[in-house]
Chains A and B, each alone.
Chain A
Amino acid sequence: MAVDGYVMQLQPFSVNDGNGIRTTIFLAGCPLRCKWCSNPEGLIRSPLVGWYERRCTGCGACSSVCPKRIGCNLNQNREECSACGRCSKVCPTGARTNMVSLLDADTILSDLQRDEIFYRYSGGGVTFSGGEATAQPALLDYLSSKLYDRNISMTLESCGYFEFEKVKDILARMDLIFMDLKLFDDCKHKQYTGVSNQCILNNIRHLAEISAAVIIRIPVIGGVNNDEQNIRLSARYVHDNLPKAKMELLPYHTLGTVKYEAIGMPYATEDFYRPTPEELEHLKNIVRAEGVELEDFR
């Protein structure tokens, strides 16, 4: 049975999401709508073409192959774009590029083969990320079972919002699971991510049933969740409910803003800021004080 799915990117030589040298597969589609999201192209499970204005020379190669005759500025006529991807193929500077493509699972697997030797020597492997990787369970199940049989180490990065029983078998194949706990306060969680954190908190507890090592991540967004109380309660919850887990605090970054421009989407107006190294260290000490070990893959 042919399996396919919507993929944002296969990113080789990823070195900060687990051990060794890895390839990170970004799968599109996410149940959350975090206001600070750095991968906005991955929110929806459908093909998407981006346009980087800064790279565009205005040569018109794109519109000459476009079935809808959309001009260079894709964002002006985005509603007409069917994301067929013909323009990305002919664009000489990479200004037009596929942000999400429909890919066949076996193509993905053969692409991963290229870097297998680097995984072996470095103790690396494959990392599933997104979007939200569990939002395409059939694809994730197929890929992870094939890679499991090839004895390739796997890591999952998840927002934690999934039906545990449905993805339990997939989780069992992982060596390491990163799960986010963005906000401990449910009201705020709903406000900033669009969903309740009840499901996420339950899933953290459920991870005790899985053999994989777990790291609970907090993306530390200045102005949202960088208060001591949030960090303390989160760490305490982890300590009490999943003693094996470590935690990692990732400072907010704005590297994703250029992607908002590329897909013609407004960036949240909120005043988020990046915590200073000193502030981050202070928050880390709070985690440590709760008896949870920290991990850092830099």
Chain B
Amino acid sequence: MAVTKRVEKIRQNYVNTRPHISYERAWSWTKSFQRTEGLSHILRTAQAFKDTCEELPVNIWEGELIVGTSGEYRKCAILTPEFGWQWINEEIDTFPQRSQDPYDVTPEQVTFIKENIFPYWKGRSVEEAFLARVPDATKLIGVDTGFLDTDSKWRNGVGEISADYIDVLLPKGFGGIRAEAEAYMNELDISIAADRKKLEFYQSAILICDGMITLGQRYAKKAKDMAEAETDCQRKEELLEIARICSVIPEQAPHTFREAIQFVWFVQLGGILSENPLAWNPGRFDQYMYPYYQADLEKGTLTREEALELIELLWLKYSEWAWTISKNTAGFFAGYTNFENLTIGGTKVDGSDATNEISYLAIEATKEIMTHQPTLSCRIHPDCPAKFMEAVTGLVATGCGFPAIHSDRTGYQMLSNLGYDPLDARDWNNCGCVVPHSRKTFEWTSACTISFAAALEFALNQGRSRLTGQQVSVTEKDAKTFTSYEEIVEAWKKQFRYLVKHGVISLITAQEIHKEIGHRPFMSVCNEYCMKNGADLVDGGAKYNIGPVFTGVGLSVTANSLAVIKKLVYEEQETTLSELIDAINADWEGYEALRQKAIACPKYGNDDDYVDVIARDLADFYRQEVVAYKDIYGAHFVTAFMGISNYLPTGKVLGATPDGRHAKDPINEGVSPVTGTDSSTCLAALRSAAKMKHDMHSGGTLLNLRLDHNLVATPRGRANLGAMLQSYFALGGFHVQFNTISNEVLKKAQENPDQYRSLLVRVAGYSAQFTNLSKEMQDSIMARNAHEQF
């Protein structure tokens, strides 16, 4: 099916324009906060949200059927100075020029922002509170270092919430939620202290609902006004229909498929305006959209083609909003990706297959228009229908990097291991990139990046950075005096333990601040139990309060390095530890023969237990250390092996490593092998990765592989790919995602970006437009080993 002219026109605009910064939301927010000094933070936040909904420019762009935008630009990035403004203040002048994720912004805007918005937030932002409170030792190792990183939890809004469309939003509408809040409120006794807090929560909820209802009404009016001025008859009718829909949506529960799509987008927009969140997940889209689709189809008021167009229009909406992030964060999360994770497939709570026509339409939409959002994820269960597997592998074969493919069962097991009720665990959806998640949950799902390889560097360099010589970690004896492999492993553990501890300190500091000035009334309204409990997410209102998730990077670099030390120094005495240390201090210069020997040692990703067992032991130690800590809600911290794109910045700060890696080269993401070292076959890489006991790392695990596109060019090849997935999942794996575009194509795209604007590739846990990535990121993707077979 060809895309409609309407969709193609909007898509062309999406592909060919850069996001533009809008300060309108920040300006409304700031003015509101200036008016509400003295009130509690939750009420101020809710009031600011409502004020923003009343003031924000409303625009209906050419050809749109689904409306609502976060500012005055179609491709728009907004600011949330209440979280952090200092980095924006420092970087905003270079936004249009920076290499990764540039934004357009005019000098007039910059001046306005610096003169009218930022001064108010001085001393009031989450970032400043964090930096004022975090201990010096923690700052030394864990702020802007690349060894340990938590800045997405104190420089930006948190996000990482899955909207509860099924039990809350779609059946009630914001009018229904408002009525519920009023009913709860009437039962309170404000002479009781606990009830006073609940009162504020419900008052906030009402403000949020009013804001959302106002936003809908303003769009209804805008559409009506535009319709009156419109001369084109067809467009006029379309605008009148938009006006009709927005006069009832999102206040009321939707009744048609199109109303539901508009509703879903308004909810997304509400979340964006509230905190400009990362990973604000639409969740199990096929499950909650199918009833509307089926009903409309039966009534004869909707065709499959119309539904597809509406889904594609929603996809474009998801993609037109760009996350606003610092240069540092853009290194970690490259490609304007905001991780609006949308899940399809899997099993229903009753155990039966959950795929339906919407699952297929979602895949078709992504295949047709190749937008980088939503982050399309699918759940595959052992009895997955062949048709669905074909659709999934067919999308993989296009090389766009979507969908992220997950094991239905491992996801279930991951949540079960966190103590979820089995029924909730069965209903899991994806969050962000590869996090098994639930719409009943409050959790920081990607809270702290922790580098295994940094711990190794510190262990072998007396707690110092090899590149700067600075003492950033706990001291250790001179590496040349270690006498056994075991002693080195112990030294790594000591350093890693120190990193974990400071990650924890950093995160509980951030949590305390969020409890004071990080209220989330909008997100809380979308959560069933916050409403029931009368408590904001940051006050533990959700049904499940899961501890913050550590994200391990550099597992395979570290395991490979330890394997080299074990084999070359202690087993074969090919070299001495002293010589090896000299070699990495010299970045291997003058030690090429030794480097070749190091490269020839067993490498993770080839199903070789010699090194895979080392990796597994490191992973086990990681979990054991992390879960020993509890957060401010009393929940255990959680482990994950994700990646985002942070294998680049975390590599850049490290010296050479014993595995043969040069200084500043990338490390590895998730449980993926180090680029280029998985030289056996894809099957061996899958087997190595599966040894990591994925269900224990409930925060999610990520495996990226490249497949030669010839392998999936035929139905038979794609069937083999499906079998590989099922095998990996049977072995206990959780997620795998493939890039299948040939390097030839990527090279052309690098040279002639204009002709390849729409080319999507897998970065890590998500896909982005290839030409939107910096040169080094592009190179690193091309270097990933393509598993070819003749």
Q: Is B717 an interface residue (CB 8 A)?
A: yes
The answer for the CA separation of A117 and B683 in the assembled complex, in Å, is 10
CB distance from A120 to the nearest CB of B (A): 8
Interface size class of B (residues with CB under 8 A): 20 to 34
Residues of A within 8 A of B730 (CB): 117, 121
Provide the bound-state CA to CA distance between A127 and B377, in Å: 35
Give, as a whole number of angstroms, the nearest-CB distance from B70 to chain A: 45
- Which residue of chain A lies nearest to B382 when distances are taken between CB atoms in the complex? A121
Taking CB atoms and an 8 Å cut-off, the chain A residues in 1-50 that contact chain B are 12-16, 20-21
Beta-carbon contact of B723 and A21 below 8 Å: yes
A114 at the interface (CB under 8 A from B): yes
Give chain B residues whose Cβ lies under 8 Å from the Cβ of A118: 683, 723-724, 727
A117 touches B684 (CB 8 A): no
Task: Report if A298 contacts B (CB, 8 A).
Answer: yes
- Give complex CA distance A297, B711 in Å: 12
Q: With a CB–CB cut-off of 8 A, which chain A residues contact B713?
A: 298
Contacts of A297 in B (CB 8 A): 716
Contact residue among A12, A59, A120, A255 (Cβ-Cβ distance under 8 Å from B683): A12
Q: Are B724 and A15 in contact (CB under 8 A)?
A: no
B680 CB contact (under 8 Å) in A12, A15, A94, A120:
A12
B596 sits at the interface (CB 8 A): yes
Hey, what's the 0/1 contact readout for A55-68 against B, CB within 8 Å counting as 1? Answer: 00101000000000
Q: Which residue of B lies closest to A15 (CB)?
A: B720
Report the bound CA distance from A59 to B574 in whole Å. 14
Q: In the assembled complex, which residues on chain B have CB atoms less than 8 Å from the CB atom of A120?
A: 727
CA distance A297 to B682 in the complex (A): 19
Interface residues of A, count at CB 8 A? 25
Q: Which of chain B's residues has its CB closest to A116's CB?
A: B727
- Interface flag for A93 (CB, 8 Å): yes
Complex interface residues of chain A between 92 and 146 (CB less than 8 A to chain B): 92-94, 114-115, 117-118, 120-124
Partner pick for B682 among A13, A57, A123, CB 8 A cutoff: A13
A263 to B316, CA, bound (A): 58
Binary per-residue interface labels of chain B (720-733) against chain A in the complex, 1 for a CB within 8 Å, 0 otherwise: 10011011001100
> What chain A residues lie within 8 Å of B687 (beta carbons)?
114
Cα(A123)–Cα(B386), bound, Å: 14
Q: Are A92 and B681 in touch, CB under 8 angstroms?
A: no
In the complex, are the beta carbons of A122 and B680 less than 8 A apart?
Answer: no
A26 to chain B, nearest CB (A): 13
CB neighbors of A among B733-790 (8 A):
787, 789-790
For chain B, residues 691 to 719, give those with C-beta under 8 angstroms from any C-beta of chain A.
711, 713-714, 716-717, 719
How distant is the Cα of A114 from the Cα of B711 in the complex, in angstroms? 21
Q: How far is B680's CA from A20's CA once the two chains are assembled, in angstroms?
A: 18
**Binary flags per residue of A138-175, CB closer than 8 Å to B gives 1, else 0:** 00000000000000000000000000000000000000
The answer to whether B716 and A13 have CB atoms under 8 Å apart is no
CB distance from B592 to the nearest CB of A (A): 8
Q: Would you call A121 and B607 a contact (CB within 8 A)?
A: no
- B607 contacts A122, C-beta separation under 8 Å: no
Q: How near does chain A come to B593, taking the closest CB pair, in angstroms? A: 6
A92 partner residues in chain B, CB cutoff 8 A: 593, 596-597, 599-600
- Cross-chain contact B596 with A14 (CB below 8 angstroms): no
In the complex the two chains form, is B717's CB within 8 Å of A15's CB?
A: yes
State how many angstroms separate the Cβ of A124 from the closest Cβ of chain B: 8
**Least Cβ distance of B642 to chain A in Å?**
25
Which A residues are CB-close (under 8 A) to B596?
Answer: 57, 59, 92-93
| Chain B residues closer than 8 Å to A94, beta-carbon distance | 600
A93-B596, A118-B683 are contacts. A15–B711 as well, Cβ < 8 Å? yes
What are the interface flags for B597-613 relative to A under an 8 Å C-beta threshold, 1 for contact and 0 otherwise?
A: 10110000001000000
Given A59-B593, A114-B687, A13 and B723 touching (CB < 8 A)? no
Q: Is A14 a contact partner of B789 (Cβ separation < 8 A)?
A: yes
Closest beta carbon of chain A to B713's beta carbon, Å:
8
A21, B600: Cβ atoms under 8 Å?
no
B 650-688 binary contact with A (CB < 8 Å = 1; else 0): 000000000000000000000000000000111110010
Complex CA distance for A95 and B115, rounded to whole angstroms: 66
- Chain A residues in 8 Å Cβ range of B599: 92
Pairs A-B, 4 closest by C-beta atoms: A122-B723, A121-B723, A92-B596, A13-B681
A57-B596, A117-B730, A124-B723 given; 10 more Cβ-contact pairs under 8 Å: A59-B593, A92-B593, A92-B599, A93-B596, A114-B684, A117-B731, A118-B724, A121-B726, A121-B727, A122-B724
**What residues make up the interface of A, taking CB atoms closer than 8 Å to B?**
12-16, 20-21, 57, 59, 91-94, 114-115, 117-118, 120-124, 255, 297-298
Instruction: Report 16 cross-chain contacts, Cβ distance below 8 Å, ordered by A residue.
Output: A13-B683, A15-B717, A20-B723, A21-B724, A92-B597, A92-B600, A117-B727, A118-B724, A121-B723, A121-B727, A122-B723, A122-B724, A255-B790, A297-B716, A298-B714, A298-B716
